[in-house]
Amino acid sequence: MLFNSYEYLFLFLPVTLAVYFLLNRKRLTTAATAWLVLASLFFYSWWDVRYLALILASILFNFGIGSALAVLGRRTAAGITAKAVLIFGIAADLSLLGYYKYMDFFIVNLNRFIGTDLAALKIVLPLGISFFTFTQIAFLVDTYKGRAHEYDLLRYSLFVTFFPHLLAGPIIHHKEMMPQFANIRRRVVNYRNVSSGLFLFFIGLFKKVVIADELSPIAGFGFDQASSLTLIEAWVTSLSYTLQLYFDFSAYTDMALGASQLFNIRLPENFNSPYKSLSIAEFWRRWHMTLSRFLRDYIYIPLGGNREGNVRTYSNLMATFVLGGIWHGAGWTFVFWGFLHGAAAVLHRIWTGLGITLPRALAWFLTFNFVNIAWIFFRARTWDDAVKVLAGMFGMNGLKLSKSAAKYDVLRDAGVQFGDLFFRSFANSAPLLIIAALIISLVARNSDEMARSFTPNAKTAVFAVVIALYSLLNMSRMSEFLYFNF
């Protein structure tokens, strides 16, 4: 079920909320927890009920492993160490993820490099598997380290399946979530939270419907359908995707955080105006923050972090980013995207170590354009598509302007082409939309900042009504969120 669907907005969310608080009001707290779990599983299986068994099995398995780790502590029992149990649990989780996400990629590459002729299995990626797998891996590690324990299956199920974060994060920690559910005061309707939650939710809905979905066809056409792109077309294509991805994913997060707040549960923030970053390191402190946190805590630091000299630090950074790329998708373009970011992070570390600082404007310019170019590999379905966009961006297919500019001899003499730019036929205001989206992402306060300073008054009420009404009445097509693909 999508956050921007009519079923979710008009039926699922209000009913789930109402019944949850009604049960709590009657002091049926266990029933309320069970209700939330059932509702979350219903939410998940709305997409495809066949995968309900998968998530249930994953929950049971990880709960079992977590219980065993909690009981074992750091001891050994029957010759089995806690560490062995942990490794087994993580390996099983990654195997599940590997099968569903990477098996066909593995087969295709095996055929390509070894010359076998195995048929692809055409496995459909279960929605949210990357997220609920990582969430549970984090739980297992935290349990092993004594930072978390959960002895109640129902509560554990709620931790994993709580619907606002289930499909595309934020990736949460057990210790930041479960105390909130256990807090009896949070089981009573808090209208302050409801108002701020709705405010944030509506901002997210607006970002998704009005900005991200309007940019989507422009990026889609440029990347997937155009046979070649001239200079302006290529930049419009790449910037459309760069902005679409941010507004789409951050919109999802806003709606997740907003919906969660209705239940008096605070999810961790995931974005902090990442395109304002002045370095790649800063970018990853602002973009998909919970994933960065996971990669840092469960990959980079266990590899040694920055504690074992420069060379090891650089290789740890590179490994972390490449794995981050692989996590996003089964494709060499994702691996390359991860590699690019790893290389940029290493480079940044080197020049920071040398004491080099750049003027703010230059630092921003380099960071933004690097990120923008790297996203091309993230989005392109094939290397050819990526090269197509890059070639256009660097002027290799020339410059095309609209026919009205043909009257200027100087342009004709300079070899400028004249004709209709591809986006004119279906998104005439594409440049304006891109500029507006850029301004919002670079200058305006982000949604979390707005939510933090939220005060329930007439001004915020009017604002909320206007953006919500506009979004609800212009949901022309229910598009999936981009991060559902990961």
Partner 1 sequence: MMNMRPILFRGNTAPWTGKKWVLRVLSSLVCGILVMVLGNIIIDPYGILRSDFSLQVQEPNTHFIKIKYLLKNRGRFDSFLFGSSRVGGIDVKKIPNGRFYNMTYSEGLPEEHLRNLRYMLEQGVKVRSVMVGLDDFSYRVDPRSHDFDLLRQQHPAVSGKSWITFYSEYFVRFGRFIPSLRDYIRQNVLHRPNRSGMIIIQDVFDSGRALCLNCDEMIDRDPDAHRAADKFSKPFHYDGDHLDVALQSIRGLVVLADEWGFRLTLFINPIHRTTYLDTDLPLMFRFKKELAQISDYYDFSGLNTVTTDNYYYHETSHFRERVGDMMLNRMTGLPKVFVPKDFGALVTKQNVDEHLGRLMRQLPAQATAADRQRQRTVPE
Question: Which amino acid makes up residue 350?
Answer: I
Q: Which is nearer to partner 1, 204 or 342 (CB)?
A: 204
Residue 160 contacts partner 1 per CB under 8 A: no
| 429 is a site residue for partner 1 (CB under 8 A) | no
Q: By CB under 8 A, tell whether 49 contacts partner 1.
A: no
Choice from 38, 312, 456, 480 touching partner 1 (CB under 8 A): 456
Is residue 124 close enough to count as binding partner 1 by CB under 8 A?
A: no
User: Interface with partner 1 includes 474 (CB under 8 A)?
Assistant: yes
Near partner 1 in 7-26, by CB under 8 A: 7, 10-11
Which one among 86, 215, 468, 482 touches partner 1, defined by CB under 8 A? Answer: 468
- The reply on whether position 461 binds partner 1 by CB under 8 A is yes
Task: Tell me the two tokens of residue 167.
Answer: 């499909």
* Secondary structure percentages of the chain, helix, strand, coil, to 5: 70, 0, 25
Instruction: Report how far residue 246's alpha carbon sits from residue 467's, in angstroms, rounded to the nearest whole number.
Output: 19
Query: Nearest approach, Cβ of 116 to partner 1 (angstroms)?
Result: 26
134 contacts 294 by C-beta, under 8 angstroms: yes
The residue among 223, 224, 251, 217 whose CA lies nearest residue 238 is: 223
- Least distance to partner 1, CB of residue 5, Å: 7
**Shortest CB 325 distance to partner 1, Å:** 29
CB of 171 to partner 1, least distance (A): 29
Distance CA 39, CA 430 (A): 39
* Nearest-angstrom CA–CA distance, 250 and 256: 10
Residue with smaller CB distance to partner 1, 116 or 476:
476
Return the sign of the alpha-carbon dihedral for residues 232, 236, 238, 242.
positive
Q: C-alpha distances in angstroms, 209 versus 41, 332, 448, 463?
A: 26, 31, 18, 16
Q: Which residue in 370, 365, 379 sits closest to 442, CA to CA?
A: 365
328 given a catalytic annotation: yes
Q: Which two tokens stand for residue 152?
A: 């109640």
Identity of the residue, 20 or 139, whose beta carbon is nearer to partner 1 in the bound complex:
20
Report, in Å, the least distance between residue 427 CB and partner 1. Answer: 15
User: Which of the residues 165, 173, 174, 328 is marked catalytic?
Assistant: 328
Residue 170 preceded by cis peptide, ω within 30: yes
Query: Which of 174, 247, 166 shows the shortest CA–CA distance to 213?
Result: 247
Nearer to partner 1 (CB atom), residue 13 or residue 343: 13
Residues 177 to 236 in contact with partner 1, rule: CB under 8 A: 190-196, 198, 225
State how beta strands 417-418 and 76-77 pair.
Answer: unpaired
**417 SS3 class:** strand
Q: How far is CA 459 from the centre of its chain?
A: 31
Nearer to partner 1, 196 or 273 (CB): 196
Shortest approach of partner 1 to residue 200 CB, angstroms? 13
Q: Which of 56, 268, 475, 480 binds partner 1 (CB under 8 A)?
A: 475
Q: Does 476 bind partner 1 (CB under 8 A)?
A: yes
Q: Does the protein bind partner 1 through residue 459 (CB under 8 A)?
A: yes
Cβ closest to partner 1, residue 281 vs residue 472:
472
Active site residues: 328
